[in-house]
Amino acid sequence: MKPSAQPSDIHHTRSAKGKAGSSVKLFLVMWIVLIALGVMGTYYYSNHLQKQMISQIQAHNQQQIAALKADYEKQLTTISKEVADLQGQVQSFNELLTFTKDNASDKTDNSNKLYTQLSEVKKQLETLQKKMDLLK
C-alpha cells in the first residue's frame, strides 16, 4: 500500500507549493505596488511643496521690490527738491553778482566774496547732480 500512498502525498505537496508560490507572488506584487505608490506620492508632494515655496518667494520678492522702489522714489524726490533749491540760490547769486559788478566801485570789491560763494554753491550742485545720476 505504500506505493499508492506516495503518489497522493506528491500530489498534495505539489498543490501546496503552487498555492504557496502564487501567494508569495501576490505578496511581492502588492509590495511593489505599495512602494511605487509611495514613490509617486513623494514625487507629487515634493512638487507641490516646491511650487508653494516658489510662490512664497515671489511674493516676498515683490514686497521687497516695492519697498525699494518707494525708497528710491523718496530719495529721488528729496534730491530733486535740493537741486531745485540750489539752482534757485545759484540764480539769486548770479543776479547779485551781476548787480554787484555793475555797481562796484574802486573802493569796495565784494565780487570776490560772491564768486567764492557762487563756486561753493556750484560744487554743492554738482555733488547733488552726481547723487541724482547715481540714483537714476
pLDDT in tens, 54-98: 999 999 999 999 999 999 999 999 999 998 888 888 888 888 877
pTM: 0.48
Residue range 41-62: mean pLDDT, rounded = 97
Q: Which three cell numbers stand for residue 121?
A: 554753491
Domain membership of residue 84 (yes or no) is yes
Domain membership of residue 49 (yes or no) is no
Domain membership of residue 127 (yes or no) is no
Domain membership of residue 73 (yes or no) is yes
SS3 (DSSP) at 106: coil
Instruction: Identify the band that residue 100 occupies on the pLDDT scale cut at 50, 70 and 90.
Output: confident
Instruction: Identify the band that residue 18 occupies on the pLDDT scale cut at 50, 70 and 90.
Output: low
Provide the number of structural domains found in the chain. Answer: 1
Domain membership of residue 72 (yes or no) is yes
Alpha-carbon dihedral 85, 86, 92, 98, rounded to 10 degrees: -160
Domain membership of residue 91 (yes or no) is yes
Domain membership of residue 26 (yes or no) is no
* Res 17: pLDDT: 62
C-alpha distances (whole Å) from 119 to each of 79, 106, 109 are 20, 23, 17
* Res 51: pLDDT: 97
> Which residue segment(s) compose the domain that 81 sits in?
60-105
Residue with the larger pLDDT of the pair 104 and 133: 133
Q: Is 131 exposed, middle or buried (0-12, 13-18, 19+ CB in 10 A)?
A: middle
